[in-house]
Structure 1
Amino acid sequence: MRDQKMTDFASVLTALRRPKILIRAARAGVVDYRRERDLRRLLRTVRFQANRPALDSLIAEENRLESNRTSGEATYSIQRHVAVLTALIAEARLLPAAGRPA
């Protein structure tokens, strides 16, 4: 079951289609990513999460942000979107090699 979840996560990441500028900004932010500090802020939790639950929460938040972006919601925050994408990229790098997208 664990390998299936990792494969599912790899599929989700490779299927993401976002504006190049968002992805470039997120990749640039990975060098400053600090897991404990950034997950606490992004997921609004005081509990430090394991990698998989954190990824699931980040994917859900990124989907919400993308929906807000594409629908033109006034509450959309590009800064938060970049931060969540940065966390997704950084967290994906923490996965075992079998769970990473090619």
Structure 2
Amino acid sequence: MPIHVITLAEALPQHVDAVRSQLAEMANMTRMAEGCVRCDVYAASGGPRYFNTIEVWVSAEAHAAWIQSAPLLKSIAPLFGKMKGLPEVRVLDVINELADGT
């Protein structure tokens, strides 16, 4: 069963550009991961230091494998000290979703 994952993160003001760049790079890498259907990164228009990622995975197992993968862990390292606290990760259950094209 596919799952959706939203991550909410806040960059420290002096590191917004570095965080934006690293998150974009991470999204490109995530899109190539086995089981990733979609990965997008957004910045809040009213507060550009607030970032959201929205991911769709073919299964919880595929997402769990990616979370524990060496490439992801390596790509997270440059964000240490540039974020306010830890990102909030939410795994979502579908209640009502519009299917692609139907």
- TM-score normalised by L of structure 2: 0.29
Structure having the larger proportion of residues in strand: 2
Identify the structure with the greater helix proportion. Answer: 1
Q: TM-score, normalised by structure 1?
A: 0.29
